[in-house]
Structure 1
């Protein structure tokens, strides 16, 4: 695959005191027994930047997110959020430090109401008296969740469950939001709704790291993208540049 020039940084200035700290991943490797899933991956997400990771099944996309969250065995990695070293931090504490996570498959609590699912998303925060405002913000982003707030999570449609999973992650007030395959199993209409929510979060200045097989969605929702192959970053660059890469167009866009 041809090499694209890295875009550098976009979004808020790193010197902006109101900007969230950047995420840095250096030399990340993930091994499951004798199988190497990720090998020496390095990248960053700047304050207010939306970054995508695309690739085929087995490319190492999901393992990369899980390793950042402390949910996969990681080796020789440096993972930092601003000045905070997360390299050996357990998953529950990664959330407390400011990284939200929307896992593949949603993993909502089907036997709890929508509102209770959302409230549980704030479990990692010290009580600050602003949980009601966090809830209102989620309901403004996803009005259908407010309408169904007393309904059990398991009774929602797939698209509504995905909105609930995103909303639950936002309740922790993350500085960086990681999303794993949010369009999986959704109809084109619902994929469009998920895209709208991601664009809104981007407009609000939230840093986002999006893993997707749907390259079209990724290119619409992010500013910069990594293409992973066999556990490594094969290509990296601004979305506008990758759109015109012949092999990206052929393999991931079907053009």
Structure 2
């Protein structure tokens, strides 16, 4: 099963990215790449600059500096609303589904930038195969779903954009351990299908399980990076990431 645009994945390159809020530096000249088909996690303690990095990448907050490229295309000046047209799907922190619309209408909103065709129908069926509970609740209002079901809906909606890269901000927030395991299973399936992933997540088990490379942030800077397997056993990560 090929959910999203995994057959067209391209390298994401982030260079010299900085974010300031007033006189406070939240992100300081960081850089990283997500290779085609790679799954990368950004980890760190609260306030390390992780979410600000994703929001700056997506154009949701102003960048003080930085360059964003997907493949050979420079996305630095692209507005947030147009990022999806260039192949980046986004699952925001807090889900942000449309509570007054049905599950299916929420999903179809993910395909708003393309003409409706048989491919859209096929993709909707693939999302329902990935998340069977959404098929069962396709006519239910999104606001009536549980937190875990809304998270599945938010991921499904982003996949309906047929992204080359899927960006997720805290997908396990507020979920039970069982549902966190379900989200991990989905991310692993997407990774196996070759879709590139960029993940910010507080749950260390989920992050190291879902990714093959991690960037560790501290005070708005990259403190270290490496394979997820290496970092999961590094005592320095416990100090920077968990504050221990």
**Equivalent of 2:103 in 103, 114, 117:** 114
Q: Deviations over 1:98-152 (max 9, x none)?
A: 0000000000001100000000011123445411011011111101000100000
**Counterpart in 2 of 1:178?**
167
1:19, CA displacement in angstroms? 4.7
The CA RMSD over aligned residues, in Å, is 1.5
Name the counterpart of 2:194: 205
Aligned partners of 1:102 and 1:180 also within 8 Å = yes
Q: Which runs of 5+ in 1 are unaligned?
A: 1-17
**Greater CA deviation, 118-127 or 26-35?**
118-127
Encode CA deviations 1:47-73: one digit per residue, 9 max, x unaligned: 100000111111111111111111011
Structure 1 match to 2:222: 233
Match of 2:32 in 1: 43
2:212 aligns with one of 210, 218, 223? 223
Hey, what's the Cα distance between the residues in 2 that align with 1:48 and 1:160?
A: 26
Q: For residues 159 and 84 of structure 1, do their structure 2 counterparts lie closer, same or farther at Cα, with a shift above 3 Å needed?
A: same
Aligned position for 2:76? 87
Alignment of 1:64 with 2:53, yes or no, is yes
**Contact 1:113 1:150 (C-alpha < 8 Å) held by counterparts:** yes
Q: Which residue of 2 aligns with 1:96?
A: 85
Asked if structure 2 preserves the Cα contact closer than 8 Å seen for 1:92 and 1:124, the reply is: no
Segments of structure 2 that go 5 or more residues without pairing to the other structure are 1-6
Is the aligned partner of 1:76 residue 2:69? no
8 Å contact kept, 1:108–1:161: yes
Runs of 4+ deviating beyond 6 Å: none
- Where is the helix percentage greater, Structure 1 or Structure 2? 2
Q: Indicate the larger mover: 67-76 or 113-122.
A: 67-76
1:132 aligns with 2:133: no
d(CA) in 1 for partners of 2:148, 2:72: 36
TM-score (norm 1): 0.90
Contact 1:216–1:253 (CA<8 Å) still a contact in 2? no
Out of 40, 43, 47, the residue aligned to residue 54 of structure 1 is 43
Number of matched pairs: 238
After the TM superposition, which of the residue ranges 30-39 and 175-184 deviates more from structure 2?
Answer: 30-39
Mapped to 2, the partners of 1:65 and 1:161 lie a distance apart of 21
